[in-house]
Amino acid sequence: MKVMKNAFFTVLATAISFFGIKKIANSTHKIKKIGHRGAAGYCPENTFPSYDRALEMGADFIEIDVQLTKDKKLVVIHDTLVDRTTDHKGKVRDYTFAELRKMDAGSWFSTKFRGAVIPSFEEVLDLYADRVGLLIELKKPSLYPGIEELIAEELRKRDLHLKGNDHIIVQSFEKQSMQKFSEILPEVPVGILINYPPNKIEIKEISKFASYVNPKWTVVNNRVINLIHSNGMKAVSWTVRSKREAEKLKHYPLDGIVADYLDLID
- Render pLDDT for 231-242 as a digit per residue (tens, 0 to 9): 999 999 999 999
pLDDT (average), residues 100-116: 98
With a cut of 90, say whether residue 93 has pLDDT above it.
yes
Residue 28 binned pLDDT confidence (cut-offs 50, 70, 90):
low
Residues carrying an active site annotation: 36, 78
Q: Look up the pTM and report it.
A: 0.89
CA 136/CA 171 separation, integer angstroms: 6
- Which range, of 9-23, 104-118, 119-133, 150-164, averages the lowest pLDDT? 9-23
pLDDT at 156: 98
CA-angle at 191, arms to 189 and 194, nearest 5°: 175
**Mean confidence (pLDDT) of the chain:** 91
- Judge whether 214 and 195 are in contact, CB under 8 Å: no
With a cut of 80, say whether residue 261 has pLDDT above it.
yes
With a cut of 50, say whether residue 226 has pLDDT above it.
yes
pLDDT at 29: 66
Strand bridging mode 61-68 / 74-76: antiparallel
* Predicted confidence (pLDDT) per residue in 115-160, tens digit: 999 999 999 999 999 999 999 999 999 999 999 999 999 999 999 9
pLDDT at 12: 42
Classify residue 60 as exposed, middle or buried by CB count within 10 Å of its CB (0-12, 13-18, 19+).
middle
Beta strand ranges found along the chain (DSSP E): 32-36, 61-68, 74-76, 133-138, 168-172, 190-194, 212-215, 236-240, 256-259
Residue 219 binned pLDDT confidence (cut-offs 50, 70, 90):
very high
Residue 30 binned pLDDT confidence (cut-offs 50, 70, 90):
confident
CA 256/CA 111 separation, integer angstroms: 32
Higher pLDDT, 48 or 30: 48
Rounded to a whole number of angstroms, the distance between the first and last alpha carbons of the chain is 49
With a cut of 70, say whether residue 7 has pLDDT above it.
no
Using a pLDDT cut of 70, give the percent of the chain over it.
Answer: 89
H/E stretch holding 3: helix 2-27
